[in-house]
Chains A and B, each alone.
Chain A
Amino acid sequence: MSETATVTNIAPNIVPEHAENGDTKTRRAFLAAASVAGIGYAAALAYPVYRYLASPSEMALSAAAVTEVTLKDAEKLPAGSVLMFKFGTAPAMLIHHADNSWVALTAVCTHLGCTVQYEPQMDRIHCACHGGVYNPYTGANVSGPPPKPLKLFKVAVNDTGVEVSRG
């Protein structure tokens, strides 16, 4: 133990003479091979465990890869109201404004990830967690702690529903 410790403490280019001796060489080669085998063994055990535990995040990843969501019958949403839906795995909101315009945006606050809320009477999107405020037409962060705007989706309204897609 102390021997290996001493050897590693010396700068690598100064190899003590006795290290050339065959015994030390085979010993070192054996230890190296054993550690590689040990690490390989541990990795072979750890890999399935990691993949097993990571399964839901992998599934979420493929769910999040969604580029378009069709909201059936959403065209009937009255003006001045909101419809919460899931775009991939994350909450999103479809707002039918009083001026008859349609806006869809992510409903996840850019500050710390709370789900935000549309408040038609205040004409704003509000986050109850830390008081962040967003513009309900553009998603721009208006006041409070949010560092970034809410992302907008493309909206296409037809007579059977509303299609929301990544902008």
Chain B
Amino acid sequence: MTTKMIASSVYDWMDERLGLSELAAFARKKTVPVHAQSFWYYWGGITLFLFMLQCFTGVLLLVYYRPGVEAYESVRQITFVMHFGWLIRSAHAWAANLMLFAILVHMFSVFFMKAYRKPRELGWLSGMVLLGLAACFGFSGYLLPMDELSYFATKVGLQIPVAIPWIGPAIANMLRGGPEVTEFTVQRFFALHVVVLPALFIPLLAFHLWLVQRYGNAMPESEEAKPVAERKSMPFMPNFLRKDIAMWIISLNVLALLASVFPWALGKQYDALAPAPMGIHPEWYFMSPFEMLKLLGMVRWLQGEPGEIAGILLFTLGIVLWILIPFYDKNKESGRRARLAHYFGLLAVFALLATTVIGYWTIR
């Protein structure tokens, strides 16, 4: 029996039980629209790829990482003792940053293509929850090395829920495992980071991807205006998939370059009695909310606690409006509202960029 015959009989056996040919037929029918904005279609896939890399490098780090009292020592060991440990850790840290960047690009492209409209509202909503979970991944993962920076970042970050009236302090204490950031905090953040968050993220991601399969790629309005005969498209298999994979390889190369040329630093071990180091600042993806809260706190009549609460309220309102966009910018006919949504998007981009720039500008 030749290899070909063996392969085809194995395929037949599997096909009979799994319906592979139905799947293949479905994949053949799937197409992706081709137009001037097609580039933005890759960013969801890039995010997915980076998430898979996070799972892979995360499991590798899990091989030597020890949460709790030994957290710092184990990360020191990974970085300086284990062969290529520094590279694996750098790759994990850089891929986290790249993934958040890819998510933001993906989100804004979806926003401006108005891809959240019927029937894709749930895609938008699940995407927003995925973004929230990704931010939680970032926040919880940042503490795990228990160096100076991660210690203070977590200390400051957990002051934000404290500003919530009544229940704020209880929430912060629950997250911290006490009134201070200690080895209890790192232990529970570890549980969040490697068990709870993945358990929430992966099924939701599957749902998100299933929705993409079900409804296909949304087109920008300029494309939808064209008659069907004039729209161009390419088959998903193999054309788009090939390009997707090319993008993945580019992402992997960018990651490899960043991780090896700019290895992620490990600071001094945290010391609960040491003062905060100079120039300490949040990661870039938290810079904007941090700066917005800081700026609002500077307004004369908002100084102190009322400022913090007002800031959080305003920020929450902005996020709620952003999340609910599919429900007030429903369709092409919404006209004025659609324009409003567009300006809202531009305002959001501007506010994010401006506050991030101001944030970095004013680091002392």
Contacts and interface: CB of A to CB of B under 8 A. Distances in A.
Genuine A/B complex: yes
B4 A55 contact: no
Interface in B26-79: 60, 63
A5 B8 CA distance: 13
A53 B87 contact: no
Tier of interface size on chain A:
10 to 19
Contact of A55 (B3, B83, B87): B83
B79 to A, nearest CB: 12
A55 B60 contact: no
Given A48-B84, A48-B88, A53 B60 contact: yes
A14 interface: no
Contacts of A54: 83
Nearest to A6: B4
User: Does more than half of chain A's interface fall in helix, strand or loop, or is it mixed?
Assistant: helix
Contact of B83 (A5, A9, A58): A58
B4 A52 contact: no
A166 interface: no
Nearest to B253: A41
B82 interface: yes
A9 B3 CA distance: 9
Interface in A46-74: 48-49, 51-55, 58
Contact of A52 (B2, B3, B82): B82
B2 A49 contact: no
A49 B60 contact: yes
Nearest to B63: A53
B272 to A, nearest CB: 31
A61 to B, nearest CB: 13
Most chain A Cβ neighbours within 10 Å, of B60, B81, B84: B84
Contacts of B161: none
Interface in B252-289: none
Interface in B1-26: 2-4
Interface in A19-69: 48-49, 51-55, 58
Interface string B338-352: 000000000000000
Interface in B200-246: none
Nearest to B4: A5
B157 interface: no
B4 A49 contact: no
B85 interface: yes
Contact of B88 (A5, A9, A52): A52
B88 A49 contact: yes
Contact of A48 (B2, B3, B81, B87): B87
A54 B60 CA distance: 12
A3 to B, nearest CB: 12
Nearest to B78: A52
Nearest to A59: B81
B81 A55 contact: yes
A9 B84 CA distance: 43
Contacts of B81: 55
B4 A48 contact: no
A42 to B, nearest CB: 11
Contacts of B85: 52, 55
A51 B4 CA distance: 36
Contacts of B3: 5
Nearest to A55: B82
Nearest to A54: B83
A54 to B, nearest CB: 7
A49 B81 CA distance: 14
6 contacts: A9-B2, A52-B60, A52-B63, A52-B83, A53-B63, A55-B83
Top 6 A-B pairs, shortest CB-CB distance: A48-B84, A51-B83, A55-B82, A52-B84, A55-B83, A5-B4
